[in-house]
Chains A and B, each alone.
Chain A
């Protein structure tokens, strides 16, 4: 299974962009990259996903390198409420016909006032 590696923690000033990196060097061609965040041991919350192209939604942008071996999640204007653990996940298809979502170790982002 593809695996992801993430820095354990990052700080970001409020109002600035938060750039969270992820390495997934063993990813296969049809495996998607997902990002989720988890606040205070609540259930993880979906942020964004992508395959090859860069993606943007109302929450964040996802930049995927051309070789797909790494990606960066960008929160354009971080707020205190963005303080959370951010997980980079690779979605893997299985022989049983379903998906497995392989979680990385997560980055604990702290947004500072």
Chain B
């Protein structure tokens, strides 16, 4: 199974709502990533989890809160977002450095619209 799944595919939320994005992989990868992608721009790294611990936070605002409940799951909790946070949110996974060389596998993304 070389698939990364993301739910939901689309999400519309108001600025006062709380919602969560979910990502799942069963490839045994111990590194998992969240990216944000605006239209016609490359993906921008937000967070990296390594062995279920937050490894990298690219100075992301606190209204985005990541969580890694286990080695297969990655969540992104959203609260008090702004309209400019509307974007495609991509999850990815890969092997960790000590485990050797592997490419990064991406999910299909969640299209988020903040009203």
Contact = CB atoms under 8 A, between A and B. Distances in A.
B55 A103 contact: no
Given A97-B98, A106-B42, A43 B50 contact: no
Interface string B38-81: 00011111001010000110000000000000000000000000
Contacts of B103: 34, 46, 49
Interface of B: 4, 31, 33, 37, 41-45, 48, 50, 55-56, 88, 90, 92, 94, 96-98, 101, 103-109, 111
Contacts of A87: 42
User: Main SS of the interface on chain B?
Assistant: strand
A43 B108 contact: yes
B72 to A, nearest CB: 17
B17 to A, nearest CB: 23
Interface of A: 32, 34, 36, 41-46, 49, 87, 93-94, 96-101, 103-106
A70 B37 CA distance: 25
Given A96-B50, A96-B55, A42 B108 contact: yes
Given A43-B107, A99-B94, A94 B42 contact: no
B106 A103 contact: no
B71 to A, nearest CB: 14
A101 B97 contact: no
Contacts of B90: 43-44
A103 B33 CA distance: 14
A97 B55 contact: yes
Contacts of B96: 97-99
B88 A45 contact: no
Given A36-B106, A99-B94, 4 more contacts: A34-B104, A94-B55, A97-B97, A99-B48
